[in-house]
Structure 1
Amino acid sequence: MFWFIVAGMASPAVHSASRFLMLFDFDETMIAESSDDAMIRIAPGQSIPDWLKNSFRPGRYNEHSQRILAYLAQQGVKEGAIREAIEGIPPAPGLLALLGFLRSHQQDFECAVLSDANTYFIETWLRKVGTRQLFSEIFTNPASFNKDGRLVLLPFHAHECTQCPENMCKQVILRDYLARRASERGKPFQKVFYIGDGANDICPTLALGQKDTAFPRRDFPMHRIIQDMKTAQPGIYKPTVVPWAHGEDVINCLKKVVEER
């Protein structure tokens, strides 16, 4: 197994007193759409050919993204256009307010990103909105421009989970992170919060306990799957579930938690 981790600007030691861990997905959670959609808009004719569209295979999203980036390079799309497209993606509703709340409560929350996007997209967008320093770590697929100006995307790691894409199991990453931080801090987090939207956000939340909270985006796949799980197998899903449509939904929950002493 191999790992790629992007450490944040803040040392984990800075957050040693934080009581809570807040984890974010990126596509359609922090940003209002999939970052791949932004890439298609900068392709010639704002579309990709059918052979490329049809090359997608379930569980191989990373490989499909690699092909899209390779196609853009072949069509002469430069780094500046990619950066501008990512910077122009709007935040999800209320997301900036949520990040502002967390910034004002950094003594309580350690924040990290856990995403199947890539380092270039996430770092670029967070810096654009001025919130990069809020995140102690970013777990995502590595991406960098090669000498030919192509954005090269790699898988995050190899794993044995049969439920997740081949390039990333968020539960493996989360369990490893929680164990490492508990060792570094000398104690576990009091509570863990996970905000997401997609089917691949289910697996990491299965590592959470009853004291923790999952924030699925309302009426998105993560929310619907959780509802189905709770109906089919009551009690199997452990964390508290708080659906969100706006960042204020999450803020209202976190405010109550912070006030609990």
Structure 2
Amino acid sequence: MSCFPPGEEEQHRFRHTDIMASHSASISPDKRFIIFFDFDETIVDETSDDMVVQAAPGQYLPGWLKDTYQPGRYNEYMQRVLAYLAEQGVTESDLRSIMEKIPASPGMLTLFQFLRNRSAHDFEVVLVSDANTFFIESWLRRAGVRQLFHRIFTNPATFNKNGRLVLRPFHSHECQRCPDNMCKQVVVRDYVARRTQERGRPYQRIFYVGDGANDFCPALSLGPRDVAFPRRDFPMHRLITEIHEAMPGEFKAVTVPWVSGEDVITRLRKLVAE
């Protein structure tokens, strides 16, 4: 099943360009594992959409704007936020500066160094986020880790001729758990299926590192040899704990909560050594 439904040719074309624009244009078929990362509160220790409010006058959004938010339609809300910021004179440079200053989550850069050292043979690294291309690319390039990621799946965002950052939804889907603009399980399943076909064999294991409720959905697609890394005491972790208690056996992946990226390294070292 494609995660690009009919009638979205323009968005598909943009996303395809973005996803394929990685420095690692050709992926070695020899990599044994694939590891997916969320961005907000996983790679970085804040939510980028919240941080961008620092660019607003007085560093807050007016009540009339905040009141337009509707559950499941956060992408549409952020489109209005970005339009408001542009109206207030916020520039591309202003937004980039805020993104570049967001701190990495504890141990995350150490984890990236570990993956960089092993990625030639072991790890295909993919980012799946409900943020947007501009926020993510700004941070990754500033941190010097953009080349680690083979693919980035996120909402497209480009500046128009008036200097406004225009945000679009990534895709549409039928999942009832996820926001209207992105189901990460659809992204993960489709990507793994396509890569498996291209490689001619499956990955030995799939890893997923996340924190939020929208990271729980893709983790449900993992098998018993795969590993879910939920950030400890964040929504993804709580949802996994709840499903273990309510429906034993329904969640199949091994669960390894993390506080620091070094917790993820500890488990990966053991699996790589097998």
TM-score (norm 1): 0.97
State the alpha-carbon separation in 2 of the partners of residues 14 and 201 from structure 1. Answer: 25
Q: Pairwise mapping of residues 72-83 of structure 1 onto structure 2 (< 5 A)?
A: 72-83=85-96
1:159 shift after superposition = 0.9
2:59 to 41, 46, 50: 46
Equivalent of 2:258, from 221, 244, 252? Answer: 244
Alignment of structure 1 residues 200-215 onto 2, 5 Å:
200-215=214-229
Determine whether 1:34 maps to 2:60: no
Per-residue Cα deviation, 1:225-254 (whole angstroms, up to 9, x for no partner): 111111011110000000000011000000
* Residue of structure 2 aligned with 1:144, choices 158, 166, 169: 158
Secondary structure, aligned partner of 2:36: strand
**Aligned position for 2:115:** 102
Equivalent of residue 58 in structure 1, options 71, 74, 89: 71
Q: Distance in 2 between matches of 1:169 and 1:15?
A: 27
Q: State the shift of 1:14 in Å.
A: 3.0
Give the letter aligned to residue 81 of structure 2.
I
Q: Which residue pairs with 1:256 in the alignment?
A: 270
Aligned to 1:131: 145
Matched, 1:226 2:240: yes
1:70 to 64, 77, 83: 83
Identity %: 57
Structure 1 runs (4+) greater than 3 angstroms displaced = none
Classify the secondary structure of the residue corresponding to 1:111: strand
User: 2:118 aligns to what SS in structure 1?
Assistant: coil
> What is the CA–CA distance in structure 2 between the aligned matches of 1:234 and 1:247, rounded to whole Å?
28
Separation in 2, partners of 1:52, 1:251:
42
Q: Deviations over 1:25-58 (max 9, x none)?
A: 0000000000012111111000001111122111
Q: What code does the residue aligned with 2:233 have?
A: D
Distance in 2 (alpha carbons) for counterparts of 1:159 and 1:247: 31
Instruction: Write the deviation string for residues 53-97 of structure 1: whole angstroms up to 9, x where unpaired.
Output: 122111111111111111100100001000000000000111000
Structure 1 residues 101-148: Cα deviation after superposition (integer angstroms, max 9, x where no partner): 000001100000000000111111110000111111000000000000
Q: Following the alignment from structure 1 to structure 2, what is the Cα–Cα distance between the partners of residues 103 and 37?
A: 29
Gaps of 5+ in 1: none
Instruction: Give distance in 1, aligned partners of 2:131 and 2:162.
Output: 22
Consecutive unaligned residues in structure 2, runs of 5 or more: none
Cα distance between partner residues in 1 of 2:139 and 2:82: 17
- Matched residues, number: 259
Aligned partner letter, 2:183 = C
SS in 2 for 1:175: helix
Match of 1:163 in 2: 177
Partner of 1:181: 195
* Alignment-mate amino acid for residue 38 of structure 2: D
* Aligned-partner residue type, residue 92 of structure 1: S
RMSD of Structure 2 on Structure 1 (CA): 0.9
CA distance in 2, matches of 1:228, 1:113: 26
Match of 2:32 in 1: 19
Q: Secondary structure at the match of 1:104?
A: helix
